[in-house]
Structure 1
Amino acid sequence: MTRALFIIDVQNDFTEGGALGVDGGAAVAAHLTSYLERAADGYSLVIASRDWHNADGDNGGHFAPVGEEPNFLDTWPPHCVAGTPGAEYHPALDQSRITIHVKKGQGEPAYSIFDGHVDGGASDGATITEVLEEHGVTEVDIAGIATDYCVRASALDAVEHGRHVRVFTDLIAGVARETSDAAIAEMGHAGAILASSDGE
């Protein structure tokens, strides 16, 4: 079996102080770096996604119209705009062990890593489905931000695409406790294994 790690949206705008910062986001970045130090060699691919929204326009309705309040369900304040500091990986995340970078949400709403495309390298422009099939990946571990949105969507899509999925519940952070708990339950019900990164 070939295993990949998905690192979902560990970006400045999704961590404390960012445009859509969540509590515990910076800790997820730091803990992921520690995890990669001891476990990266166990993965054939380490794939990290980033929201990468266009500065112009509303990105398919993803950004609330100017002058209107976002509903924080399907419209949001501007965040992770391409080329801005908020779109960059959190500095506590060690990027050196990331083998594939994915950008998503370029002009359209995109929550799942499966909505994105590879940025750079030999697989530039490929979808995640194409990458996983090319490398024969059958097992996917998932960590990152936010539990109740992009982690949830990525995990559900990975299950739907026939992968055996583990979600590391100690390496995720969510927007709200209630919606995060619901997302964790939904991922488990769909077939994802809810696990700890330390194997306990």
Structure 2
Amino acid sequence: MGKALFIVDVQNDFTEGGALGVAGGAAVAEGVTAFLREHADDYAVIVASRDWHDADNDNGGHFATDDEPDFVESWPPHCVAGTPGADYHAAFDTSRVTFHVLKGQGVPAYSLFEGRTESGATVHEILDERGIHTIDVAGIATDYCVRASALDALAHGQHVRVLTSLVAGVAEASSQAALAELAHAGAELVD
């Protein structure tokens, strides 16, 4: 029974000063790096995702182009492929990451499961080939992409632990609601 670590969207645009920066984003980058120094060998697989949106369209309505974003389903442009905003945060040391997943290419995508590696592998394939049954989840944002990734992992029969000291969300109320929803769905919340 293998174990994986999901590191969700620790990118410049989701940390302080980014297009959709969240408070505590840089601290998550630093915390994940420190965690990996101590615990990387505990995992058979470490998967890091990045939003990787197309520059030349609205990404299936994900980018508000003519109207103001509603910050629920439409957002300002962010994590555009090949831009500094799409890069991993500088404090996040990716040297122990075994798979990098890109998601949101031309469409809205919140869950890490919606992405693919550069070679085209899906997260399901990665997990199935390695017999992964337990997933720890960290990253940004608690109330959106962390939530969606953890719910998808639960839906696919994984034992899921959310590392609550290694997540940051858009808003306190929606982040707490997301964590409560995840616990109710069967995820373990671990400090």
Q: TM-score, normalised by structure 1?
A: 0.95
Report the Cα distance in structure 1 between the residues aligned to 2:158 and 2:12, rounded to whole angstroms.
Answer: 29
Q: CA deviation at 1:65?
A: 1.9
Query: Hey, what does 1:83 align to over in structure 2?
Result: 82
Matched, 1:187 2:165: no
Displacement after TM superposition at 1:97 (Å): 0.6
In 2, Cα distance between equivalents of 1:160 and 1:4: 16
**1:167 aligns to 2:162 (yes or no):** yes
What is the CA-CA distance between 1:47 and the residue it aligns to? 0.3
Distance 1:37 1:144 in 2: 16
Aligned position for 1:151: 146
Question: Residue 126 of structure 1 aligns with which residue?
Answer: 121
1:69 is the counterpart of 2:64: no
Residue 8 of structure 1 and its aligned partner are, at CA, apart by 0.1
Q: Percent identity?
A: 65
Q: Which runs of 5+ in 1 are unaligned?
A: none
1:21 match? 21
2: distance between equivalents of 1:127 and 1:34? Answer: 27
**Counterparts of 1:175 and 1:93, CA distance in 2:** 19
Equivalent position SS for 2:26? helix
Could you tell me how far apart the structure 2 residues matched to 1:31 and 1:189 are?
Answer: 26
Deviation at 1:142, TM superposition (A): 0.1
Report the number of matched residues.
191
Are residues 1:39 and 2:42 paired?
no
* Cα distance per residue 1:134-184 (max 9 Å; x no partner): 111011000000000000000000000000000000000000001000000
- RMSD over aligned Cα, in angstroms? 0.5
TM, length-normalised to structure 2: 0.99
| Counterpart-to-counterpart distance in 2, 1:151 and 1:169 | 11
Matched with 2:55 is 55
Query: CA-to-partner distance for each residue in 1:56-89, whole Å, 9 max, x for gaps?
Result: 01000000023x1000000000000000000000
For residues 38 and 179 of structure 1, the distance between their equivalents in structure 2, rounded to whole angstroms, comes to 30
The aligned counterpart of 2:30 is 30
Tell me how far 1:118 sits from its aligned partner.
1.1
Q: Classify the secondary structure of the residue corresponding to 1:118.
A: coil
Cα distance in 1 for partners of 2:13, 2:127 equals: 28
The Cα of 1:109 is off from its aligned counterpart by: 0.2
SS at 1:186's partner residue? helix
Query: AA paired with 1:91?
Result: A
2:115 is the counterpart of 1:116: yes
Amino acid at match of 1:159: L
Aligned residue in 1 for 2:102: 103
Alpha-carbon offset, residue 130 of structure 1: 1.1
The unaligned stretches of length 5 or more in structure 2 are none
| SS, match of residue 155 in structure 1 | helix
Paired residue for 1:9? 9
User: Secondary structure at the residue paired with 1:94?
Assistant: coil
Equivalent position SS for 2:7: strand
Query: Which 4+ stretches in 1 moved above 2 angstroms?
Result: none
How far residue 194 of structure 1 moved from its aligned partner, in angstroms, is 0.3
Letter in 2 for 1:112: S
